[in-house]
Each structure stands twice: as C-alpha cells, then as structure tokens.
A and B are shown apart, each in its own frame.
Chain A
Amino acid sequence: MAKTVKNIYRAINANKFRLLTISLVIAIGITSFNGMITAFVHMTRTYDTAFEDHNMASFTMQTANLGGSGEDAWIDYVNLTNFINEFQEQEPEQESLVKAYELRIVYNTVFEIRGEKQTGQIVAMSTLDSQGNYREQPDVNGYKILSGTPYSELSRYQNVCHIEAHLAEYWKLEPQEFIAIGDSRIPFEIVGVIGSPEFLINQGSYADIMPSPRRFGVVFLPLKAAQGLLGVEGKVNEISVLLEDGLSKNRREKIASDLKLFLETNYDLKFSAPIDIDNQPSYYLLRLDIEEAREFGIVLPIIILGMAIGGLYVLLSRMVVAERKDIGVAQALGYNRRTIILQYLGISMVIAIVGTLIGTLLGLWFLSYFSPLYVDMLSIPFTPEVTIEWPIVISGIVIGILTGLVGGYFPVRGSIQPLPAESLRFDPSLHITSGKIPLIERVLKLFKINLRATGLKLPLRNLFRSKRRTFSSVFAIIVSVSLISMAFGMIESMNESLTFYYDVSEDWDLRIDFSEIPTNTSQIARTIKQNVESVTDITYHLLSGAIVTSLESSQRKQVTVVGMNDSDGYLGHTFNFEAGDDWNPEGLVLSVPIAEALHVGLHDEVFLELPKLTKLVSTTPLRAHFELVNISFQITGIIDEFNGLVAFVGLENLITVSNFPGEPANTILLKIEDPTPERLDMIREEILAKYGYNVRNIATKAEQKGELLELMDLLYNIIYIVAIFAVILSCAIVYNTIYISLQEQQREIATLLTIGTNNRKLIRNITVENTVITLVGTVFGLIFGWIMLWFFMRVILDMEFFRIKLFISNNTIFISFIMTYIGVLIAQYFPLRRTLNLNLAEATKERVV
C-alpha cells in the first residue's frame, strides 16, 4: 500500500503541471456548484423568510371595480369587518384556518416626485389593531423598515407615507422628503423607506414586460390618510387573508372562493377573482427566477465537470499508453490488473481531490459575496444571511471525487492489455495503428497534388498514423472552440437581438405614455405634428394586457396586446415576419414563443381575452365598467423579435370589440427628423409643457434601451461568468493535450534531430500538424458550440419575454479559432523548446514518461 502511494506520488510529481490544470477544471466545476447552488438555497430562504416574517397574504381579493367609484368599488370598513367575522362564525372549520386578515386600500394613481410625474400604486392599511390600539405593523402583508421610522400613533392624522425601496432607490428618496400624491397633488412626508415581500420584484402585473420603478412605484399610507386623499372615508377595496401554514393551493383557493361567495350572496358585494399567493406577481416571478438560478447552478457544473472527466480521460489514457511498457513489466512480474488500475486510479483521485479541495475552499470564499451579489442584481431589499450549507459542500466533495473515479477508471481499465507480451514490445513513439497510407493522402494524390512539395506529407502521415493521439488533440480543440464560440455567441446573440429590436423593429424616436387614456388621441397627434417642429411621422397605439388561448393547446398566455393605428401608414413598428408577409389590420400578429406555446401557425384562430366595456362612467378620463370576453382572431403573421410576449391587432378592430368610446390610446410614437439628443430633449420639453398633466413618461429610444439593459443585467452577468469559465477551461484543456502529445513524441523528435533534421523543419512540421488539428477541431467545435448555445439559451435560460435570435457570427468563429490556435502554439512551445535544448543522448536513451 505504501508503495502504491509512493508510485502515485512519483507519477504525479512527474506530470504535476498538466495534472494541476485538470484539478483546476474540477475546481471551477465544484466552485460553481457550491457557489450557485448555495446562492439558490440562500435566496430561497431569504424570500421564504421575507414572506413568512412579514405575513405575506395567502390570498387577496379586490372589489370588482377597483379604482372606480360606487358600490362595487368601495366597501365600508366596519361593515366588511362584521361580514368577515360572520363568515368566520358560520364556517367554524374555515375560521380556525384564517390566521388574520387585513382590509386595505390598493389604488393606482399618480405621484409627483421632484417635480416629475409618474404612475404607481398606493397601498394603505390601518395603523390600529382590531381593538383600536396603535400597532407598528399590520397583521397581514407587513414590511421591513429599511430607513426612517415606523408610523407613530399620530400618523393616521398626518399626511405621511412609507416609500417602497425600488421607488426610493430610483429617485434617491430619503425620509423627511415630500412627494405629492394623486391628481390634486397632496404632499406627503416620507417617514421611512420599506421593503415589502409583496413587491420584492417591482412589477405591477405580468403584462408589464419591462418593470421600472419609474412607471410603477409603490407608496404605503396609513389607511385614514389614504381615505382622506381619495375621498372615501371609512372605506376599503381589498381583503388580504393570512391562512394557517401548510395549506395546499387547492385548500387556499377553496377558502378564498367560499369567502367570496359568502360575501357576494349575503351582502350583495362584488369582488374580482381572488389572487392566490402563488399567482401574486412578485412571488411568482421570484419563484421563476430562483428556478432558473437553480437550473443554471446544476447545468453549468455538470458541463464543466463533464469536461473535467473528458480531460482526465484523455490525460490518463495517454499516460497509460505512454507507460504501457512499465505496465507490461509490472504484469510480467506478477502484478494483477486490479493493483495496476488502482495505482492509476490513485492518480486521478489525487487530481480530483486537489481540485475538489480548491473548489470547495473557493466556493466557500465566494459565498460571502455571491448570494448578496445576486440579490443585489435583482435589487431585492432583503439581504440574505450567508451560511455554509454543509449538505451542499459535502455533495460537492462527493461529486468531485466521483468525477475523478469516472474520469480515471475507464481509460485505465480499457488500456491495460490482458497479456504483457504486447505491452512489453510497445514503444509509444514507435506506436503505429495501421501501416496504410492515409486516405487523405490517397485522395490528394488523385487530384495530382504533390504533398511533398506542400510540406504536408510528413505531418499528415504523423497525424493519421497515431490516430489516438490525433483524436484526443482534436477533442481538446473541439471542447475549446465550442466553449468559446458558445460563450461569445451568447453575448453576440443578445447584443444583436437588442440592436435589431431597437434599430429596426422599434421604428420611432420618442414615445409618450399617458397616465389616463385620452379618447381624442388622433386630435392630440395631429396637434403635435402640426405644432412641434421636425416631427415627421406620428402614430398612436392602445396597449393592454390580455390572455391568449387557442383550441390547439390548453396553455393560457399573458401578452401585451398592441392596438396599432395605421391610418397614416406609419406603424411605429417594423415587423420581422417569420410567417406571413404583411401587416393586416383585420388579423393578429403573434410573437414566435406564443405561437409555439399555443401550437398555432399562420391562418389559425386564437382567442384574446379582452375587457369589454359594459357601462361607461366618464370619457375624460376614461372610466368604465368592463367584463372580460373572448374574441376570436385569425393569425396573419408570426414575428420573430426580441419582445417575446406580444400580439398586434388593428386599433380599429380593438376599439370595436372592446366597445371603447372615441379614439382611445395610451401611447404616442413620434418619428423625428435628425433625432439628436438635444433636439429630442427640446421636443420632450415642448410636449410636457402642453400635455404634462397626463403624461406618465416620455422616453427616447436610447433611454428605453438603457432601462432594458439594466433589467437584463443579471442575464448578462450570468453569460459573462460562463464566458470567463469557458476561456479558462479551453486554455487548460488545449494546453494539456498538446503538451502531452508533444512530450510523447519527445524521443522521436530527439532522434530526428540526431539524424540531422534541422530545427526549423521540425518546428514547421509540428506546427503544420497542430494547425491541421486546430482547423479540423474548429469545424466540429463550431457545430458543438452551436448546439450548446442553443441548449443554454433555449432550454436553460428560456425566458419567453425575451426572444433572442441565436447565431454565431464570423467574428466569433474567428475569435474562437484564434484563441484556441494561440493556446495551441503556446502549448507546443514549451515541450518543443525543452526537446530542442535537450541533451540528445539523454532524450534518445530514456523513454518519456
């Protein structure tokens, strides 16, 4: 046993640098495993505690006409409390399941912050408990005070508010500042900035594909202040219910619908469908996000460790081949296969253990900032508690060691001949697989190409007659090229999709979003075009969220429906049709991911669930009662573009089916002649001065793109991490393989030199050999790179709302080739230099190990 250990040590010592590179690959794999999986666990725990500690509602239920006025919009607080108590008394078994409930106001309105107007939501809860005593936190949907103070006992008589963290961060708001709320711009003093589990991700609805605190900010008010502000004394419009822990979704939904039914039948109230915690946007999106992080945390290490196994396999099988004679001697002496396998396995185990140790330590070190980094990237106002997750650490160690076992056992077992006579005769540098003239040489001869003249003859012979060596070198090149091309392909595809989207698809320079839907949009548009200089084109759209369904699939997809006004021929959008060829205002244009999810194609029929006006309250601003109806549309185009969850219909069509009055629209798009930033700013000011009262946002295309890029930060970061790993891995693997291959040939090279071959010719031959290998490997590497790119972007990072067109550009091809080729040249330099400087007598005498 001690001898085996000693032998292992000697073998490792003789190959330490190359073995270390494999250890490094394993280390990276284990680091990413530890870092990412632990980050996933930390995040899950952070969210869970955020949800639990702050009593996130199990379900919420809003009045049917939220935001409107009248019976079905507002309910008396005291009455509703009595009704719910009654419900609890009548249904004693449900009662025990309701832990607490909270009656709130949730209302979409406008804020004025630093003189600028923006939309958002106010959320208001009572500062008193059911006994009428002051309390710091509500019973349901609590929050965490990040700065400032909680409400005081007097707060309910004051115009004070808490600002949700994303909004505070965007405007850099601090306690003691003021913001104005509502159309009448009542000033409220900020007493604190809070993080709320309801708004961990600052998104008003799923349909908002680009959530930004600039368009959706949340402000918390004391209930009384909100009632005063909105002129609805004593009223609320939402019930949030906290149920006992551990109830199934079905159970929760049953209780919610029972409560709804009870209130609607007994007290003639009207509520919209209850929203279960699982469908709450922030909760749902975070789960999705975590899920993605987890998949990534599993797939990335698998790929890296797979490569480590490949690298170990190549290295050990080459080592076993090089030492075949020693193995033969050991066998001749009477050593059995098991002992010999054990010895080589020991080598791969040491590599794996060293890699695992480094990886585990790095992983632990990374932890202290990996999870916080992730949370920070999502700007989540709850910092995770960083702890070492021993089960993950131990799994990492087990996985690392398994890598060594798998990568070591098979090549060694496969390479040991049953009979030592063969092995004893073997000399790696004299090793021939077949005596035939290589096929390529014969083919080239057919074309009357004189190989000797091209200087390709010797290198080609060498390559084809030591197939195993060639194969493993090509393998290394494939790994390298595929990794690099995948990584750069990811970055390029993302960039290109964005560039295409903003340069081609989005055909406008300035975009105005209204807070309230005006019903005389064509008139507004005409006025702007006439009065504002250098506006060459103008159009307006009506955007709304809708659910698409089809008969072919049971899936329901949430999309943004764009009602496009095409009366002036200017659409503000250039379609990149994948199917169909022209805009048809009678039909529906659908994005690829939706068409795929619904299993529909051109000319198929789909249904849009759209609001249909049932009772008009006022036209300016548009206030009305709606019901949801399913309208059938025929697909006249399928578009492949960045925005993955979108459907376009003709505005006329949309207005007709929705029964809207006048010419409603919520977005105006302008095309500007010579759109310099200065000019855009000027136009913006001009429009704000005229229509500022109702403008929610005016953005240039560059601004919108910037916002989006910020949002995609996380994705970019993930991709950069992959790219860095890819390059390191490639270098390690290429270096390793080329180095070992040349070392194997050391004696042969020395012999050639002794015979009188000059250095330059030798170097040229080897360079030609390696160039051929790199070229061949690059071709296959690009194919694999493409497959991996597809796999990563479509399967792993599959995000429907961003549709990224995948491609590998010539630049990427060039970069992957050049980087790999440089790696090859560096790798061949060291062993060559050593051999060329070597005492030839030594080199020819001693077999390479």
Chain B
Amino acid sequence: MVFIEISDLSKAYMLGETKTVALNGVDLEINKGELVILYGPSGAGKTTLLNMIGGLDIPSSGTITVDEIPVSTLSAKWLTTYRKQKIGVVFQFFNLLSRMNTLENIEYAIDLIGVKQTDGSTSFNGKIIREKAQEYLEKVGLKDRMHHFPAQLSGGEQQRVSIARALAKEPEILLADEPTGNLDYKIGRNVLEIMEVMTGKAQNRTVIIVTHNPAICPLGDRVVRLSDGKVAENYTQKYTPAKELYW
C-alpha cells in the first residue's frame, strides 16, 4: 500500500533575478513502515524534499499525498495540524530550544498531543508528560543530563535529544535530516542504533533518513538517490542493522 505518494514535485527559489531549482520533478512512492534512505550530494535537494513531506514548506508545483491527505494543497492552519498529528523531525542542525533544558525540550513536543493512555484516552497531565519525556531521555541514554541546557551538551548529545524529541510524539512518520552529519563515526552509529531500536519494524513507523554518506545506505529498506533535484536511483534492498555499518 502506498503511504506517501509524490508526483512531479518541483521547488524553485527566487533570489532577486536568479532562480535556484532545488527540486525538479520528483516522483516517489513510499510504503507504510518502510525505512527510506534519502541519499545524495550536498545541494541535491534532500532537505527541501524532506521539508515538503513534513509540511514545513510548500512545493512550487506537483503533489504530495500522505495517507490520503493532500499535503501539498493544505492551508497553513491544516499544515500545522498535519505536522502535529503525523510528523516527527530530527533536524540537520539539532535546533533545540536554547532557553529550555533537555527535559523541557522534549516535554514541549509532548505537550502538544498529550500522552496516549492504555484505556485509549489522552492525558495532558504535567506529571504524566514529564514521565514520558524522561522515558525517552532514558532511551537515548541522557536521563542524567535532563536538567542541562543545549549549550551544555555535545553535538552528539544534542542530536540524541533532538531524536528523543521527535520520537516522544510517537509520530507515524519520522523525518531525520542528516542525523549523523555533524557527528563522528562512533557517535553517529550510536545515534543510528538508537533510531533503529526506537523506530523498530514492529511499530510500523515510516522513517526517512537523509544522508550524503553512502555508508549509511544499507540501513534502509529502500534507497532513494537524489541528484540535481531529481530521483536518480530508487531501489529496495535487504536492510542491514546499524551496528553492522562501517564508514
């Protein structure tokens, strides 16, 4: 079943007289529960595509449909709802809120949608939200740093907080822009392992990881290679667990 359907998607930026084409007719189908690696050189348009899927930006032309929602035509208001309900984002540059400590950064995301209880109801109770945030911090191994502020964390730690924040919402779709881009091999692989564990096939979560690092490609069920704003390659493969990746 096609979960994300992208057809003839283009995005151009105008800066004065000059026109930069970031995406130029992208066609792509992604199934539910797939782990997709979006691979390509710098400037290929990866972030741009991810932003479109996440409802952070709107295309110049073409359509995106996610779970039968016509994302590309939603109004700003509905885009907000879409992001809130469906999407979790791990940013290329972490983008933690500097005025909030680690725990609060995560709570800030959970505040929006509350915590699903076992009886099916949703709780917005502060204590329950806090427990949930702590649970995710523990998962990324940073429970002891929960009162630290972003400026007091290393790059890898910030990225792990960023992942915890994206996942704490338990979104249907997780978008990760270069989650390892700013990190060294060891920490990078650690981050990927965490993501792998936390997204886990069993959860049926659709994950798109952007990278310009070919060594990460084996991690995905599917690899989409972007080049000059176009899909240059698109293939499925047997995925390789993160701990077996080397680069």
Contacts and interface: CB of A to CB of B under 8 A. Distances in A.
A9 to B, nearest CB: 10
A434 B57 CA distance: 22
Contacts of B91: 329, 332, 424
A332 B151 contact: no
Interface residues of A, number: 33
A3 B107 contact: yes
Secondary structure class of chain B's binding surface, majority of residues: helix
Given A847-B98, A849-B99, A336 B57 contact: no
Contacts of A420: 56-57
A424 B165 CA distance: 16
Interface in B81-105: 81, 83-85, 87, 89, 91, 95-100, 104
A334 B81 contact: yes
Q: For chain A, what secondary structure do more than half of its interface residues adopt (helix, strand, loop), or is it mixed? A: helix
Interface string B1-16: 0000000000000011
A333 B51 contact: no
Nearest to B95: A329
A331 B57 CA distance: 11
Contacts of A326: 97-99
A622 interface: no
Contacts of A846: 98, 151
Interface in B33-69: 51, 54, 56-58
Interface in B104-150: 104, 107-109, 111-113, 126
Contacts of A331: 56, 80, 83
B98 A849 contact: yes
Contacts of B197: none
B54 A332 contact: yes
A332 B89 contact: yes
A332 B100 contact: no
A334 B84 contact: yes
Contact of B111 (A3, A337, A419): A3
Interface string A303-339: 0000000000000000000000110111111111100
A333 B109 contact: yes
A849 B83 CA distance: 26
Nearest to B126: A2
Contact of A435 (B15, B58, B80, B98): B15
Interface string A1-43: 0110011001100100000000000000000000000000000
B76 interface: yes
A845 interface: yes
Interface string A376-409: 0000000000000000000000000000000000
Contacts of A621: none
B238 interface: no
Given A14-B99, A421-B57, A424-B91, A845 B151 contact: yes
Interface residues of B, number: 35
B84 A333 contact: yes
B77 interface: yes
Given A3-B111, A11-B99, A334 B80 contact: yes
Contact of B108 (A14, A333, A435, A849): A333
Interface in A806-849: 842, 845-847, 849
A228 interface: no
Contacts of B100: 7, 10
B57 A419 contact: yes
A786 B185 CA distance: 67
B181 to A, nearest CB: 15
B76 A332 contact: no
A424 B177 CA distance: 12
B102 to A, nearest CB: 14
B56 A335 contact: no
Nearest to B177: A424
Contact of A335 (B15, B57, B80, B87): B80
A254 to B, nearest CB: 68
Contacts of A336: 77, 80-81
7 contacts: A329-B96, A329-B97, A332-B54, A333-B108, A334-B83, A336-B80, A436-B16
User: Lowest 3 CB-CB distances: which A-B pairs, in order?
Assistant: A334-B84, A421-B57, A334-B83
Interface of A: 2-3, 6-7, 10-11, 14, 325-326, 328-337, 418-422, 424, 434-436, 842, 845-847, 849
Given A331-B83, A334-B112, 5 more contacts: A2-B126, A333-B109, A334-B81, A335-B80, A424-B91
